[in-house]
Amino acid sequence: MTWKSRDEKVEMSVENGRLKLGVDLPAAGDNREVPLLVERREVRSCPGSYYLIMTELTDGLRIVLREGAQDVNVEVTFRPSERSVNLTERRVEIIDEPLLPGHCVEFKLTPAKATGI
C-alpha cells in the first residue's frame, strides 16, 4: 500500500506493518535530532483506552488535542510515572522526561460529565 504526503514530495509505503518513508536524513555521525510529527485521526469507542507504546528512546514529545467530541473527556496517563493530565482542558501537553522503550502513553476516553440541571 502506498501513499503520498500532503506536499506530495515524499512517498510512503507500509510493508509487513512497517512504515517506510523516502526522505533524506543527516549522517548518523552528525549527531543531529530529526523531528517527527505523527498525526492520527480515527473514531474510537467511548469509554475506552488507546495506548501508544514506545519502541525506542523518545524525547521532546508534544501531545496536541486539536479537536474532540464535545461529550468525550480525554485523559492522558504516562507510564510508568503514572502522571495524568486532562487533555480536554489543557489541549497541549509537553513531556519533559524521555520515554524509554516499553514506556507508554494511555489516552483514556470517558463520557463528559453533564453540567447544569
Interval 25-60: pLDDT, tens: 888 888 887 777 777 776 777 888 989 899 988 888
Q: How confident is the model at residue 13 (pLDDT cuts 50, 70, 90)?
A: confident
C-alpha cell at 37: 510529527
Q: How confident is the model at residue 90 (pLDDT cuts 50, 70, 90)?
A: confident
Distance CA 112, CA 104 (A): 24
* pLDDT for position 61: 86
| Total residues belonging to the chain | 117
pTM exceeds cut of 0.85: no
Contact assessment for residue 76 and residue 47, using Cβ atoms and an 8 Å cutoff? no
Name 91's Cβ contacts closer than 8 Å, sequence gap at least 6. 64, 65
* pLDDT for position 4: 58
* Cβ burial 59-87 (10 Å sphere, 16+ → b, else e): eebebeeeeeeeeebbbbbbeeeeeebeb
C-alpha cell at 73: 473527556
Measured between its terminal Cα atoms, the distance across the chain in Å is 51
* pLDDT for position 11: 73
